[in-house]
Structure 1
Amino acid sequence: MDSINIAEEDFDRLLLFTALESDVKEKILKELSAYKKGLMPTEFVEHLIRVSNLDQDAAQDVFSLVVNLITIKDSYNIDSERLYSGVAEYFSSIGEISEELKQSVLKDLHDIIFNTSPDILFSLAALGAISDNSRQISNTRITHEIKPVFLRTGLEGFVMVHSLRIDYRENNQDKELYFSMDTSEFEALKSAIKYAESTLKQIQEKPGFDF
């Protein structure tokens, strides 16, 4: 098999991983091996930050390296040993680093490939399915406001207004939508959410389904 040429930034990411303390690398490998199907990448990166004390950029770089390696493995339909051999052959041809560092890099590369759960592929595919829609919700918030009601005779009373704000991303731009609801509409929204939660629970408890 021809050597696999990976992106230059992935080589830099692997060097970053190699430079980490051994106990931090062990924690990362442990979490990669325990990756559960359906866990979203952003959730995993946040979890990685908590358990390893990496900063946001470093955790994201490590996960991006893992994603790219496992994607190569899936795209070429090759097993872990062949993936390691192919990438190792490419790294061995690089002359800019010392032999000692090169061996450390190759060891870390081996550990990443052989400790990464294949369930990451499911999460990446699931994320792709979710992102098929041109709009992806990033945040929601509901606020409540009491507003006065005036007639010709003056202040007649008050009304409760519930405001729903939806932050979303469309065409690589952050956008937001606002909706105002009265109390009956707010209760209808709550009922719809409760119904959705109950149907989701039924789906998750269905034998043979794994979400």
Structure 2
Amino acid sequence: QKVVVKIVDLTRQPLDVTGQELLTKDRVTLRINVSAEYRVIDPVKAVTEVKDFADALYRALQYAFRKTLGAMTLDQILEKQVMVDADAATKVRSDMAAIGLEVTDITLKDVILPGDMRELLNQVVSAQKAAEANVIKRREETNATRSLLNTAKVMADNPVMLRLKELEALESIATKVDKLTVTNGTTGLLNDLVSLSGD
């Protein structure tokens, strides 16, 4: 008889499924990267039940995520952190237990969109942000107008405050003017702009 000795690593090991292509429910093609962690608990089964136990786990993970993401739309996948379907994960663990493997973590690491879809999504996000910025701008304009209206009401009821605001405006203008020409006389200018009370 020919005896073959095979060494099996019994420590926990990672397994990555990279660049797996699939179709979502709304027929968008995605590429995903999946990661899992497993450990051989029965080395005799692991080497006799299947030709390559790591390859068997690889294919089981492919099927599990095809079932999970194939039932979801692109928006659903992007909106939440996707975990493998519970039934699919249970089947993976059950099938792997039958060949002597214990599977622990099963994680979707990356979702990669095709180039044209990324461009479309960027345009959608830009449009949404522009709309939000426009709403904020209109809200601030409304608040500013309301504040001006309140100020106008206060000034209408208080002529002294109105004169003070006029003087503030005059002071602001005067700081930016190098030369001031008075056309109606100093007395008229003072009577028109500086008088805080009058008939």
By the TM > 0.5 criterion, same fold?
Answer: no
How does the TM-score come out when normalised to structure 1? 0.22
How does the TM-score come out when normalised to structure 2? 0.23
Larger-Rg structure? 2
